[in-house]
Amino acid sequence: MSVKDLQVDALVVGGGIAGMQSALDLADQGYRVALVEKEASIGGKMIALSKVFPTLDCCSCITTPKMSAVAHHENIELLTYCEVVDVAHVDPGYKAKIVKKPRYVDEEACTGCRQCEYACPIDVPNEFDMNLGARRAIRVPFSTAVPQKAVLDIENCILCGKCEQICPTGCIDFTQEPQRFEIEADAIILATGFGLTPTDAKKEYGAGQLLNVVDALTVERFLAPTGPYGHVLRPGDGKEPDSIAYVQCAGSRDKTLGVEYCSRVCCMYAIKQAMLLSGALPMADITIYYMDIRTFGKGYEQFYQNARAMGVEFVKGKVARITEDDEKNPIVRVELIDEGSKVVERMHDMVVLSVGMLPGYNPQAIYGVPIDASDGFIEIPSPNIEPTVTNHRGIFATGTAAGPMDIVDSIVMAGAAAAETAAYLQSKNGLALKLPVSEQVAAMEVAHV
């Protein structure tokens, strides 16, 4: 596929739930949008989740229609496997230089039939399943990926040519090179999302070496219908865990890691996972070790109370250390606050670290947009009155790129970013921009009252 230069009203960077929502809201108003995603599929972290709190709706069922709407919207140009490498302020807007990484597959000709994937002899750990399952060197990224196009990982490919021989459309091209093109846009929305505390961040918690200590995103994959095992099995030996413990704030509110803020979602996702695990493993004991339970959103406190009523054990205590016994069972050393700060050691079959949200991307070098010195997320100078406006004219930030938040807040903020971008585009280009004549007149009358 050859790429071409584009001229759009807005460039959205990042195709997670926040970027997709901003793109759709702008496109529905008639603005031309280019959405640039660095991965081979859009969907962000949300598409990897099992169910969402507090409704326990299936995550794929909510995310996939949005992904599909983005891909099929006539006003959205979807550019996956692309990265913005340079941005210049060229009045009246911005000129972005983009690099499209080689998929080694002609994106237009590929039908997503997966014949290449079945023929490929190379298995490598599947990043989408947190490296628990395997994927082929060439594959469609995951079952609900958008676009449904294959991508070849040249690092692991042995160039045996089996995929090329079987591909019915002859679209595999081992000679593909990165392609460069430019996008001119009047405004930019940064929706670059978040990262997670690495499991090896804390040496007190085993520094990533304990096989049956996993992070919460791994448990999302255990619980997802498309997950690697179709069951909840502990990774160390494939045993069904009878006793599972959550360690809260494993990467948030922790000065030793330089992360002093609360990640806002970990209490709720731990409660959600505890409920789902109770359903998947009815005989299992589930314990959540916490410092404070923060259930701030609508319906969240009731969700927490439901989990208690279901028998999930909540223990107020700071976990000091995790070690393991000879059978690789994790042992949690914890100070029990409600029992006179008694220090005990408890054995579990599997321990889940409720890891925190970290800044995913620093836009300073390319966009000149500063990050907040206190947490590293994109700085929003006036969050109470202009919640998505950065201190760079015409550049907006949304979703977890601007700070830890859940899906509901990411979607609300994405709507706000689209509204503030639309207002900015209108103020720049005059009211005539995208409104039909009757609405322009009405809007002008309102503006003059």
Ligand X SMILES: Cc1cc2nc3c(=O)[nH]c(=O)nc-3n(C[C@H](O)[C@H](O)[C@H](O)COP(=O)(O)OP(=O)(O)OC[C@H]3O[C@@H](n4cnc5c(N)ncnc54)[C@H](O)[C@@H]3O)c2cc1C
Q: Where do contacts with ligand SF4 occur on this chain (CB under 6 A)?
A: 105, 110-116, 119-120, 122, 137-138, 150, 152, 157-163, 167, 169, 171-172
- By CB under 6 A, name the one of 29, 31, 32, 53 that touches ligand X: 53
Stretch 121-160 residues interacting with ligand X (CB under 6 A) = none
Give the one residue of 192, 197, 329, 421 binding ligand X; rule: CB under 6 A.
192
Which ranges of 38-174 does DSSP label H, i.e. alpha helix? 59-72, 115-119, 162-166
In the complex, the smallest distance separating the C-beta of residue 126 from ligand SF4, rounded to whole angstroms, is 15
Q: Judged by CB under 6 A, does residue 34 bind ligand X?
A: no
Q: Does 36 bind ligand X (CB under 6 A)?
A: yes
Does residue 250 bind ligand X (CB under 6 A)? Answer: no
Q: Which is nearer to ligand X, 66 or 346 (CB)?
A: 66
Q: Which does 217 bind (CB under 5 to 8 A by kind): ligand SF4, ligand X, none?
A: ligand X
Which letter, b or e, does each residue of 367-386 get, where b requires 16 or more Cβ atoms within 10 Å of its Cβ? bebebeeebbbbbbeeeeee
Considering only 147, 227, 241, 399, the residue that binds ligand X (CB under 6 A) is 399
Q: How far apart are CA 107 and CA 102, in angstroms?
A: 10
Judged by beta carbon, residue 362 or residue 426, the one nearer ligand X is 362
In the list ligand SF4, ligand X, none, the entry touching 318 (Cβ below 5 to 8 angstroms by class) is none
What's the closest the beta carbon of residue 107 comes to ligand SF4, in angstroms?
9
Q: Which two tokens stand for residue 414?
A: 């994405």
Tokens (6 digits) for 227: 């997950």
Contact between 323 and 206 (Cβ < 8 Å): yes
User: For residues 133 and 195, which CB has a smaller minimum distance to ligand X in the complex?
Assistant: 195
Is there a contact between 67 and 46 (Cβ–Cβ < 8 Å)? no
Smallest distance, ligand X to C-beta of residue 184, A: 18
Residue 128 to residue 287: CA distance in whole angstroms: 27
Parallel, antiparallel, or unpaired: how do β-strands 350-355 and 243-250 relate? parallel
Among 104, 194, 289, 367, binds ligand X (CB under 6 A): 194
Q: Which amino acid is at 73?
A: H
Residue 139 contacts residue 114 (beta carbons within 8 Å): yes
Give the E-state strand segments of 291-341 in sequence order: 313-324, 330-336
Burial class of residue 245, CB neighbours in 10 A (0-12, 13-18, 19+): buried
Residue ranges that bind ligand X, judged by CB under 6 A: 13-19, 36-39, 44-46, 49, 52-53, 83, 191-194, 196, 216-217, 220, 265, 269, 272, 360-361, 399-400, 405-408, 410
